[in-house]
Amino acid sequence: MLRDPEQIQRIVEDGRDLPTLSVVVTRVSEMVRDPRVSAAAVGRVISEDQALTAKVLKLVNSSFYGFPQRVNSVTRAIVILGFNRVRNLTLTASVLGALPARHGAFSVASFWAHSVATAIASDSLAKILRLPAEAEDAFVSGLLHDIGKLMTIHFFKEEFEAVMKTVVEKNCLVVEAEQETIGTTHAHIGGWLSQRWNFPESIAASVRMHHQPDLSHQHRRLVMIVHVADILARALGLGSGGDMRIPVVDEASWRELGLTREVLDQCMKEMLDRVEQTEEFIEMVTQ
Ligand SMILES: [Fe+2]
Ligand SMILES: [Fe+2]
């Protein structure tokens, strides 16, 4: 028996059977909203969770940031990267640690390859378009945009299998098959999860609206960036989101972001230049 959308929403929002994130993540998110907070104070809170601290430092020292010197403390990372980026790192490390790394039939490795490619594309696009506010959260928003899919795979197995069957039978997009089979989509499921896990609103909006950027209000430009990045990752065949078709770029996003052929070419070039970082990232994720 497939569950209906309300039932799925209740299960995700209730969260009893879902993994929990480190309490440190919520505290850090609250702290960075306070302009008077010090790097040392945030560093102390993160350091209370040793496993999380180790993961954050591993991410900081990975090739994504490419610092010539090793960063050995969280406080130092905050000084170099700023509060928001370190908050995003704790969120990333905590989410990746909370989700099971493997799942039989579905290739979780190609799911993460798609997610990392979308993260890189979002980051590059925000920088090429000179949108510094969006650039802060672009990487993590791209990385987590399809988190609802991973939720469905792990916690709604029957529903996930029904969706994948529809994808094959109708040769349609996952998001279309989801709407038809379970009456909701991974974007909505991810949105409920984002609330449950207290994601910052910018990231939650990207998760919830990346397939309907034209309908988004808050963080509209970031949502549009993630929407375009998702399509570029598919166009370059980096990883897989579970379907073979490539959706078209939403017209409003194209217009409002001021996209041009040159911008997309430059972004795709950067994605290919950074593609070897994907391997390293997936290794960190699936360890
Ligand atoms: Fe998606
Ligand atoms: Fe995607």
pTM above 0.85, yes or no: yes
Q: How much distance in Å is there from the Cα of 53 to the middle of ligand 1?
A: 30
Secondary structure class of 138 (helix, strand, coil): helix
Q: How much distance in Å is there from the Cα of 149 to the middle of ligand 1?
A: 8
Of the candidates 254, 248, 115, which has an alpha carbon nearest to the alpha carbon of residue 186?
A: 115
Q: How much distance in Å is there from the Cα of 14 to the middle of ligand 2?
A: 25
The CATH code of domain 102-287 reads 1.10.3210.10
Q: How much distance in Å is there from the Cα of 206 to the middle of ligand 1?
A: 10
Q: How much distance in Å is there from the Cα of 186 to the middle of ligand 1?
A: 7
pLDDT higher than 80, residue 207: yes
pLDDT higher than 90, residue 272: yes
Q: How much distance in Å is there from the Cα of 56 to the middle of ligand 1?
A: 26
Q: Average pLDDT, stretch 213-242?
A: 95
Nearest ligand to the C-alpha atom of residue 116: 2
Phi-psi region of 82 (alpha: psi -120 to 50; beta: other; left: phi over 0): left
Rounded to whole angstroms, the Cα distance separating 247 from 82 reads 35
The answer to whether 96 touches 234, Cβ cutoff 8 Å, is: no
Rounded to whole angstroms, the Cα distance separating 218 from 273 reads 32
Of the candidates 249, 229, 280, which has an alpha carbon nearest to the alpha carbon of residue 114?
A: 229
Per-residue model confidence (pLDDT) at position 170:
93
Q: How much distance in Å is there from the Cα of 68 to the middle of ligand 2?
A: 32
Specify the domain boundaries for CATH 1.10.3210.10 within the chain: 102-287
Q: How much distance in Å is there from the Cα of 146 to the middle of ligand 2?
A: 5
Nearest ligand to the C-alpha atom of residue 231: 2
Q: How much distance in Å is there from the Cα of 220 to the middle of ligand 1?
A: 16
The answer to whether 238 touches 113, Cβ cutoff 8 Å, is: yes
Per-residue model confidence (pLDDT) at position 254:
97
Using pLDDT thresholds of 50, 70 and 90, give the confidence band for residue 143: very high
Using pLDDT thresholds of 50, 70 and 90, give the confidence band for residue 286: low
Of the candidates 193, 178, 229, 9, which has an alpha carbon nearest to the alpha carbon of residue 99?
A: 193
pLDDT digits 0-9 by tens, 46-65: 999 998 999 899 888 988 77
Mean pLDDT computed over every residue of the chain: 90
Per mean pLDDT, which range of 17-26, 62-71, 117-126, 251-260 is the poorest?
62-71
pLDDT digits 0-9 by tens, 3-36: 899 999 999 988 888 888 889 999 999 998 898 9
Per-residue model confidence (pLDDT) at position 27:
92
